[in-house]
Amino acid sequence: MSTAEPLLEVEDLTTTFSTDDGELMAVDGIDFSVDSGETVCIVGESGSGKTVATESITRIVKSPPGHVEGSVRFKGQDLLEMSEPELRDIRGYEIAHIFQNPQEAMNHCYTVGWQIMEALQIHRDVSNEEARAKAVDLLDKVGIANASSRFDDHPHEFSGGQKQRVMIAMALVGDPDLLIADEPTTALDVTVQAQILRLLDDLQEEFDMGILFVTHDLGVVAEIADRIIVMYAGKVMERGGVLDIFDHPAHPYTQQLLNCLPDIGGNTGGIPGKLPDPHDPPDGCRFAARCDHTIDACRTGQQPEEVEVNPGQKASCVYYRPAHDDSVIRDGIQNTEPDTTEVGSADD
């Protein structure tokens, strides 16, 4: 991680929704940053607030009922301070999005070429010929064969993987600094998924983009991530470099997530229990109700402060206390051996 200001720096991001049942806190005060050329993965199970967190960055989250607070600094400007028109200039040009379901992500009434040109022409005053040339160029770049003849085809004439390629082409019209990819491969089969991931990797190198990648698939994470942020019920549970997290996960939630991977833990049954009610989150750690290590301290106060358990790796768990705190309960939890009491956090 560089010492200069990161490309994107999110602080205390909180997104609430007004619903008939009261306020729903989908994202509850999270921090993270993304640098140019780096891939940061947000992982967590469905409903943990990953998507809302990324859609809050450019405020494309539906509002009302959504309400975004905190600070989102992008290249030195606070996006949350910006007016809608100012933000529209950034959306799709400097910060681009691709989404989970390429089947539905394009308007079925227009040709793919029209939709790529639209993305370009709402931002820059370019002629139709120039826009068309650029769009064909981008389609070619993302691996659509015969790009200029496919330009006038409609989305339904493309396969799922090709549609996601077109979506990526659309995202690249402004040479974006940041690409937010929200489960872009979840709806695709495994071979196509691998192709798309490789494409994103190549494009990242070429465009020097930061990528914020949301997924619940840890296999995908292992392939592309530089750093990982583990979210649960709107809070960050753990964060760190990809190798640190996979080698010695510190938070019990991360450990249980990794245990669900077939070739690591082999726990195919998943984690028992379900997410807490977002209208009324419990005191203490959000994960306490489903954790194997819960003690009384887990159920009081706030979500524990994030503590550095290794250089660059932080966990939010009462088992890891800040250095200045003397009341150490235990020195951490080691994966797969939940009852060990004396082990340090990092040796395997």
Footprint of other proteins (CB under 8 A)? 58, 60, 85, 88-93, 96-97, 99, 101, 104-111, 118-119, 122-123, 154, 156, 167, 170
Q: How far is the CB of 197 from other proteins (least distance, A)?
A: 21
Task: State which residue, 110 or 146, has the beta carbon closest to other proteins.
Answer: 110
Q: How far is the CB of 26 from other proteins (least distance, A)?
A: 16
Dist CA 335 CA 348 (whole Å): 9
CB 322, CB 307: distance < 8 Å: yes
CB 59, CB 82: distance < 8 Å: no
For residue 294, give both structure tokens: 């819960």
Q: At what angle do helices 160-171 and 112-121 cross, to 10 degrees?
A: 20
Task: State which residue, 19 or 336, has the beta carbon closest to other proteins.
Answer: 19
Q: How far is the CB of 319 from other proteins (least distance, A)?
A: 39
Q: How far is the CB of 173 from other proteins (least distance, A)?
A: 8
> Which phi and psi angles does 10 have, rounded to 5°?
-105, 130
CB 242, CB 228: distance < 8 Å: yes
- CA-based angle 29:60:304, to the nearest 5? 10
Task: State which residue, 97 or 239, has the beta carbon closest to other proteins.
Answer: 97
Task: State which residue, 167 or 229, has the beta carbon closest to other proteins.
Answer: 167
Residue 147, helix vs strand vs coil:
helix
Task: State which residue, 18 or 107, has the beta carbon closest to other proteins.
Answer: 107
User: For residue 9, what are the β-bridge partners?
Assistant: 33, 73
User: For residue 212, what are the β-bridge partners?
Assistant: 40, 180
Q: How far is the CB of 31 from other proteins (least distance, A)?
A: 23
Task: State which residue, 60 or 261, has the beta carbon closest to other proteins.
Answer: 60
Q: How far is the CB of 91 from other proteins (least distance, A)?
A: 4
